[in-house]
Amino acid sequence: MPAPPTSIGPRPPFTDWPDGIRFGGGVGTIWFVPDAAICVQVDVARIELGMARSYLDTIGAIVDAERASIDRGGGLRLYQDFRSIRRIEHGARMFIGEAVRNDVDRWRYTSNRMELAPTSVLTRVAVQLIALIATRVGLPAFDLSVDLARELERDGVRRPEAGSAHVARHDAYRRALGAR
């Protein structure tokens, strides 16, 4: 059995953001930024099937809980920091592709911007294959060549405010995840 992934921890542009929802046993963090943005930072080099399931379950719980806000905001916008990823295992790739294809209405998004490590050719190819599935079911193409900090600033996505509303949102997401 392969060694467990090693987390590299938060990196800019998310280092000063309040706590997010950790997923996959701590392999990444997800934040919801009202009205309609989800930001993801993955902290490990290898993505396995269980991590992919946890990633999609967590995003799904947030999308379900925030559907009204996302609709008010004009549709879901995804900003994903995948710079740490060097390998996406076959089972994880297949699972994500099937999930997108089988539940396309849940994953309706208006944009999906990702920052990948420039030297990670295999990860880029794996993500491009998943993107191909997404476009074939009518979702917008992935934007894979972004500077995430610049995109967040350009689109007006600011760090969530820490406080009671932030904590209440996270409690609701955790309850929804516990009910699955």
CATH of the domain at 48: 3.30.750.24
Q: Is residue 12 part of a domain?
A: no
Q: Is residue 10 part of a domain?
A: no
User: Domain containing 77: what range?
Assistant: 21-174
Confidence of residue 142 (pLDDT cuts 50, 70, 90): confident
Confidence of residue 104 (pLDDT cuts 50, 70, 90): confident
Q: Is the residue at 134 inside a domain?
A: yes
Q: What is the pLDDT of residues 13-67, one digit of tens each?
A: 999 999 999 998 889 999 999 999 999 999 999 999 999 999 999 999 999 999 9
Does 16 reside within a domain? Answer: no
pLDDT confidence of residue 3? 45
Is residue 3 in a domain? no
SS percent in the chain: helix, strand, coil, step 5: 40, 20, 40
Domain assignment of residue 1, yes or no: no
Q: Are 135 and 62 in contact (CB under 8 A)?
A: no
Residue 7 included in any domain: no
With respect to residue 64, please indicate whether it lies within any of the assigned structural domains: yes
Number of domains in the chain: 1
Instruction: Collapse the DSSP code of 180 into the 3-class scheme (helix H, G, I; strand E, B; otherwise coil) and give the result.
Output: coil
Q: What is the pLDDT of residues 9-18, one digit of tens each?
A: 678 899 999 9
